Structure 1
Amino acid sequence: MSASRTAAAPRDLLAAWCGWVLIGAAVLVAPFGWLWPLGFSGLMSLVGLLCLPAVRIDDRDRPAAMILFAGLIWAAVSTTWSPYHPTKPANNSILKLAFELPLYWSAISAARRADPVLRTRALHILAYGCALFGLVLLEEGLTRGVAYKALHAVYGPIRDDLAESNDGHTTQVLGLLWPLAALSGPRRLRPWLALAMAAGTGAAALAFGYDAPVLSLFLAPIVALLVWRWPRGAPKLLALAAAVLFLAMPFGIWAVRHFFDYEAIRADLPKTDSMRMGYWSHAIDWIKLRPLQGWGLEASRMFGPGIILHPHNNPLQIWLELGAVGAVTAAAFWGVVLSRLSRPAPSLAAAATAASACVYLLFGVNFGVWQEWWLALGALVALLAVANAAQEKAL
C-alpha cells in the first residue's frame, strides 16, 4: 500500500503544480490583454516551460501534432530559398517557431493534466479578470481612454492618438477570448460575465474605430449557436469552410480583381482597408510566380513598397511564403481541429471553442501569421478549450 502511494505522489504533485501555474497565468491574462498584449508570447512560453513534465501527445492529438511538425519542417526548409536573412535571433522566425511549438503544446497539456479543483479556480479567476477587463474597456470607450492615458503619463508619456490606437487594439484580445472566458466562470454568472466582456469590447472598438472586434461580437454567437444546435454536423462544416479559406484565398482575390473594378473598390474604403487591399493585390502577383514552394519564410518582408512587412492576411501570407504546400498544411490543421469539435450531443465547450476559433480566423486578416503574441493567443485559446472541455467532462 505504501509503495503504491509513493508511486502516485509525483503524479499528484505534477497535477497540483500545473494547477498553480495555470492560476498564476490566469491572474495575468487580463492585465496583459489591456496593457501589454505583446507579453502573451512570454507568458505562454513560461507556462509551457514550467509544465514541460506534463507534455503528452494522445491518440486524439496525434493528427494535429503531425501536421504542425510537418509544417515546421517545411517552414525550416523554405528558409534555404527565402530572400529574407535574419541578422539576429530575435528576428529569426524559424528559431522562435521551433521553441514555441513544444512550449505552447506543453502549456495546453498542462490544462489537461492540472488538478481539477485548481483548474476550476484558474478558470474562474480568468473569467472574473476578463469581465473586469471588459468593464475597463467600457470605461475607456466612453471616456476616450482616460485611464490608459493616465497610466502612461506615469510610466511613459504617449501621444493621445497612439494611446487611443493601443487601447482600441486591445479589443481584439478580449474579442477573441470572451466566448471561452465567459464559459470559464461559474454557471450562474456566465451571462453577466459575457455581457461585461462583450459590452466593453464593442464600446471601445466603436470608439476607437476597430471594425473587426465589432464583427466578432456577431460572428461568435452565430457560430456558437450553430455548433450548439447541430453539434455533429456544424463543426465539420466549419472545418470545410476554414480549409477552403486557406486554399482558395488567392483565387478569391484574383476573381475580385478580374471581374470587378478593384481600384474603385479600394478608393471607396478607409485608408487602412485600402492599403490592405493593395498588399493583397501585390501578394497574388508574387504568388503566381512561385505557387508551389512559395518564396520562403518571412519573404514578405522583402516585397516592399507593395507589401509592408506582410500581406495582412494569414492565408495569403502562407501562400506567398510557403506556397501550396504550406496552404495545404494550414488547411489540414484547421480542418482537423475544427472537425474534432463534432459531438453526438450539444456541448457548451465545443460551441465556445468554435466561436473563438472562427474569430481567430477573422482577425487573421489584420496580423502577420508569425507574430509571436498572435500565435501565443492562439495557444491560449487552445488551452482554454482543453480546460473547459475537461471541466465539462467532469460534470
Structure 2
Amino acid sequence: MTLSGAAVLPRDPLGIWCGRVLIGAAVLAPPIGYLWPLGFAALLSLVGLLCLPAARIDDRDRPVAILLFAALIWAAVSTTWSPYQPSNLEHTSILKLAFELPLYWSAISAARRADPALRARALHIMAWGCALFGLILLEEAATRGAIYKTLHVLYQPIRADLAESNIGHATFVLGLIWPLAACGAPPRWRPWLALTMVLGAGAAAHAFEADAPVIGLVLAPLAALAVWRWPNVAPKIMAALVAALYLLVALIVWAVRRFLNYGAIEDHLPKTDSLRMGYWSHAIDWIHIHPVRGWGLDASRMFGPGIILHPHNIPLQIWLELGAVGAVAAAAFWGLVLWRLSRSAPSLAAAATAASATVYLLFGVNFGVWQEWWLALGSMVVMLGVMNMPADEADPSARQASTSTPILE
C-alpha cells in the first residue's frame, strides 16, 4: 500500500529507465540549443542508444518504417553514381544515416515507453528550461550577445560577428520547439511560458537578422489554430499540400522562371534570398538531366559555384540527389506523418506538433536535408509530440507494460 492507501501497482523498470533518460535530455536540450545546436545529434543519439531496449515498430508505425528503410536503401544505392565521394568516414552521409535511423527511432520509442509520471516531469523541465532559454535570448537581443560573448571568453574567444551569428542560429532551435515545449508545461503556467519563449526567440531573431524564425513565430500559431479548430480536416489538408510541394517543387520553380521575370525577383530580394533563388534555378537545370534516379547522395556538393553545399531547399535537394524516387518517398513520409495528426476532437498535442512541423518545413530553406543535427531536431519534434500525447493515445504495448507507482508529491 502507498501512503495514501492505494494499491501498489507493478513497476515497469524499462519505462522508469526511459523516463529518467528523458529527464536528462530535457535538462540538456535548452543549453545545447543555446550554446551548441550541432550537439542535438549527439543528444538524440545518446537517448536512442540508452533506450534501445524500448525500440519497437507497431502496426501504426509500419508504413513509415518501411518508407524510411526503403529510402535509406535507395540513398545507399545512389552513392554508386554520385559524383561526391567522401574522403573519410566523418563526411560519409550514408553511414551516418544508417546509424541515425535506428537511434532516433529508439529515442521516439523511449518517449512512448517512458513512465507517465517521469514523462510529465521531463515535459515540465523542458518547458521551464525553454522559458529560461527565451529570457536569455531576450537579454542577448538587448545587449548584442553579452552573455554568449562572456561565456566564450572563458573557454574559447570568438569574434563578435560570429557570436551574434551563432545566437541567431540558436533562435532556430527555440523557434522550432517552443509549441511543444510550452504544451508540456503545467496548464496555469502554459501561456506565460509560451509567451516568454516567443518573445525571446522573436527579439533575438530580429536583432541578429534571422528572418526565418520570425516568420515561423507567425506560422506556428496559425497552424496550431487550424488543427485545433478543424482537428479532422486540417491535418489531412496539410498532408496533401506538403506532399504536393515535395512532388511539384521543381515544376514550381521552373514555372516561375518560365512565366515571370525570375532575374528581377532575385534583384529585389535581400542577398541571402537572392542567392537561394540562384541555387534553385541551377538545381532544376541539373534535375532535368537525371529526373528519375537523381545525381546521387550528397551530389549537391559538386555543383559549385552555382550551388554551394546544397540548394537551400530540402525538397529540391531530394529531387537533385535522389530523383523522383526519393521525392515520392519524402512526399509519402510527410503525408503519412501529418495525416496521423488527424483527430475526431481538438487535441493540444496534435495542434502543437502541427505547429512545430510547419516551422520545420519552413526552415528547410536554410539547411541541408542530411545535416545530422537538423535530422535530430526533427526527431525531437516527434519525440516531444509523443510525450505530450494523452494516455489513451500512448503505445498500446507500452500501456500494458507501463503501470508504475505514482510518484508521491
Q: Distance in 2 between matches of 1:66 and 1:150?
A: 48
1:207 corresponds to which residue?
A: 207
2:39 is matched by which residue type in structure 1? Answer: G
Measure how far apart 1:189 and its partner are.
0.6
Q: Distance in 2 between matches of 1:33 and 1:83?
A: 34
Q: Distance in 1 between matches of 2:320 and 2:141?
A: 37
1:67 corresponds to which residue?
A: 67
Q: Distance in 1 between matches of 2:81 and 2:389?
A: 42
1:344 corresponds to which residue?
A: 344
Equivalences for residues 120-269 of structure 1 within 5 A = 120-269=120-269
2:167 is matched by which residue type in structure 1? Answer: D
Q: Distance in 2 between matches of 1:358 and 1:91?
A: 29
1:114 is matched by which residue type in structure 2? Answer: A
Query: Percent of aligned positions with the same letter in both sequences?
Result: 72
1:20 corresponds to 2:20: yes
Measure how far apart 1:393 and its partner are.
4.7
1:322 corresponds to 2:329: no
Q: Distance in 1 between matches of 2:341 and 2:134?
A: 27
1:95 corresponds to which residue?
A: 95
- Map Cα deviations across residues 320-359 of structure 1 (whole Å, 9 max, x no partner): 0000000000000000000000001000000000010010
Q: Distance in 2 between matches of 1:293 and 1:141?
A: 46
- Map Cα deviations across residues 124-147 of structure 1 (whole Å, 9 max, x no partner): 001100000011111111111111
Q: Distance in 2 between matches of 1:183 and 1:225?
A: 14
SS in 2 for 1:308: coil
Equivalences for residues 297-312 of structure 1 within 5 A = 297-312=297-312
Q: Distance in 2 between matches of 1:20 and 1:324?
A: 42
- Map Cα deviations across residues 121-170 of structure 1 (whole Å, 9 max, x no partner): 11100110000001111111111111111111111111111111110111
2:3 corresponds to which residue?
A: none
Alignment length, in residue pairs?
A: 386
Q: Distance in 2 between matches of 1:331 and 1:15?
A: 33
Task: Identify which range, 141-150 or 198-207, moves more after superposition.
Answer: 141-150
Q: Distance in 2 between matches of 1:390 and 1:160?
A: 45
Q: Distance in 1 between matches of 2:161 and 2:266?
A: 25
Q: Distance in 2 between matches of 1:278 and 1:393?
A: 45
1:28 is matched by which residue type in structure 2? Answer: L
1:33 corresponds to which residue?
A: 33
Q: Distance in 2 between matches of 1:355 and 1:58?
A: 25
1:3 corresponds to which residue?
A: none
Q: Distance in 2 between matches of 1:224 and 1:67?
A: 27
Measure how far apart 1:72 and its partner are.
0.5
1:364 corresponds to which residue?
A: 364
Query: So what's the TM-score if we normalise by structure 2?
Result: 0.93
Structure number with higher helix proportion: 1
The unaligned stretches of length 5 or more in structure 2 are: 1-8, 395-409
C-alpha change, 1:271 and 1:346, in structure 2 (3 Å) is same
The unaligned stretches of length 5 or more in structure 1 are: 1-7
Task: Identify which range, 273-282 or 106-115, moves more after superposition.
Answer: 273-282
CA contact (8 A) 1:266 1:273 kept: yes
CA contact (8 A) 1:349 1:392 kept: no
Q: Distance in 1 between matches of 2:376 and 2:392?
A: 24
SS in 2 for 1:83: coil
Measure how far apart 1:245 and its partner are.
1.1
Measure how far apart 1:390 and its partner are.
4.0
